[in-house]
A and B are shown apart, each in its own frame.
Chain A
Amino acid sequence: MSGLTAFARFEVARLLGSWKFLAITVGFPVIFYMLFLRDERAGRIVDGAVPWRVYLMVSMCSFGALVSSLNAGGSRLSTERASGWARQLRVTPIPAWSYVATKVAASMVVVLPVVVLVELVGMAFGGVHLGLLSWFELTGLLWVTAVPFAILGIFVGFMVTAETAYPVVTALMFLLGYFGGLFNPVNHMPHALQTTARILPSFHQTSIGLALLDGRGFGIQDTLVLVAYAVVLGLAIVWKHRVEESRGLA
Chain B
Amino acid sequence: MRNMAVPMASAPRIVPGDDPVIGDADGDPALRFDDVVRRYGEHVALDHLSLQVARGETVALLGPNGAGKSTTISLLLGLLHPHGGTVEVLGTSPRRAVAEGRVGAMLQTGSGSGLPPGVRVASVLQLVRRLYRHPAPFELTVERAGIGALLGRSTHRLSGGQAQRVRFAVAIAGDPDLVFLDEPTAAMDVESRRSFWCMMRQFGEEGRTIVFATHHMQEADQIADRVVVVNHGRVVANGPGATLKAAVAARHLRFVTGHPDERLLDSLEGVTDVVVRGTGVDLRSLDADATIRALVHRGVAFCDLEVTGAGLEDAFVALTGSDRTPDDEQAP
Contacts and interface: CB of A to CB of B under 8 A. Distances in A.
A198 interface: no
B117 A80 contact: yes
A7 B127 contact: yes
B74 A248 contact: yes
A213 to B, nearest CB: 39
A3 B104 contact: no
Interface in B29-84: 40, 71, 74, 77, 79-80
A250 interface: yes
A6 B291 CA distance: 66
B192 interface: no
Contacts of B77: 90-91
B107 A88 contact: yes
A46 to B, nearest CB: 41
A170 to B, nearest CB: 20
A13 B126 CA distance: 13
Contact of A18 (B71, B100, B118, B167): B118
Contacts of A97: none
Given A79-B117, A94-B131, A248 B71 contact: yes
Given A6-B131, A248-B80, A95 B116 contact: no
A85 B115 contact: yes
Of B107, B112, B114, the most chain A CB neighbours within 10 A belong to B112
Contacts of A90: 77, 79
Identify the interface centre among A7, A18, A83, A90: most chain B CB within 10 Å of its CB: A83
B99 A10 contact: no
A167 to B, nearest CB: 19
A6 B117 contact: no
Interface in A84-120: 84-85, 87-95
Interface residues of B, number: 35
A240 interface: no
B171 to A, nearest CB: 8
Contacts of A10: 119, 123, 127
Range of interface residues on chain A?
20 to 34
Nearest to B129: A6
Contact of A80 (B74, B80, B116, B131): B116
B136 interface: no
B114 A88 contact: yes
A10 B115 CA distance: 13
Q: Which 10 A-B pairs have the closest CB atoms?
A: A84-B109, A6-B130, A83-B112, A84-B114, A248-B80, A84-B112, A3-B131, A93-B101, A91-B105, A92-B131
Given A84-B108, A84-B115, A89-B131, 15 more contacts: A3-B130, A3-B132, A10-B119, A14-B116, A83-B113, A83-B116, A83-B117, A84-B107, A88-B105, A88-B170, A91-B77, A92-B174, A93-B98, A93-B101, A248-B71
Interface of B: 40, 71, 74, 77, 79-80, 98-101, 103-105, 107-110, 112-119, 123, 127-128, 130-133, 167, 170, 174
19 contacts: A83-B112, A83-B115, A83-B116, A83-B117, A84-B107, A84-B108, A84-B113, A84-B114, A84-B115, A85-B115, A85-B117, A91-B98, A91-B107, A92-B131, A93-B131, A93-B174, A245-B79, A248-B74, A248-B80
